[in-house]
Amino acid sequence: MVWVLTLLACARQVAWEVQPRPAVDLPSMEVSVVALDRACKRAADELAVVLGARPGVRVAAGAGVQLGLARCDEGATTSVEVDFRYSSSPTSVGPLEQKTFRRLSWATADLIIRSEGTAGAPAPVRVERTDRGTSGQDGSLDIPAAMEGRDSLRRELAHTLADQVAPLPETIRRMVYRDPEAGTARQLHNQAVEAERAGDLQRALDLALQAYAANPTPAGMVLVQGLRAHAESVGYALRE
Mean pLDDT in residue range 34-43: 96
List phi, psi (to 5°) of 38.
Answer: -60, -35
Q: Which range, of 22-31, 101-110, 140-149, averages the lowest pLDDT?
A: 140-149
**% of residues, the chain, pLDDT over 70:** 84
* pLDDT recorded at residue 16: 97
pTM: 0.75
* pLDDT recorded at residue 198: 97
Listed residue (105, 122, 106) closest to 114, CA to CA = 122
**CA-CA distances (angstroms) from residue 185 to 12, 125, 192, 194?**
16, 42, 10, 14
Q: Which range, of 19-28, 37-46, 135-144, averages the lowest pLDDT?
A: 135-144
* pLDDT recorded at residue 142: 55
Give the model confidence (pLDDT) of 58-112 as tens digits: 999 999 999 999 999 999 888 887 776 665 555 655 566 677 878 889 999 999 9
Give the model confidence (pLDDT) of 167-214 as tens digits: 999 999 999 999 999 999 999 999 999 999 999 999 999 999 999 999
| Sequence ranges of the domains in the chain | 9-21+169-234, 30-165
Q: How far apart are CA 21 and CA 15, in angstroms?
A: 19
Answer yes or no: is pLDDT of 133 > 90.
no
Task: Give the CATH number of domain 30-165; options: 3.30.230.70, 3.30.870.10, 1.10.1760.20, 3.30.160.150.
Answer: 3.30.160.150
**Four-point Cα dihedral 34, 39, 42, 44, nearest 10:** -20
Answer yes or no: is pLDDT of 219 > 60.
yes
Answer yes or no: is pLDDT of 2 > 50.
no
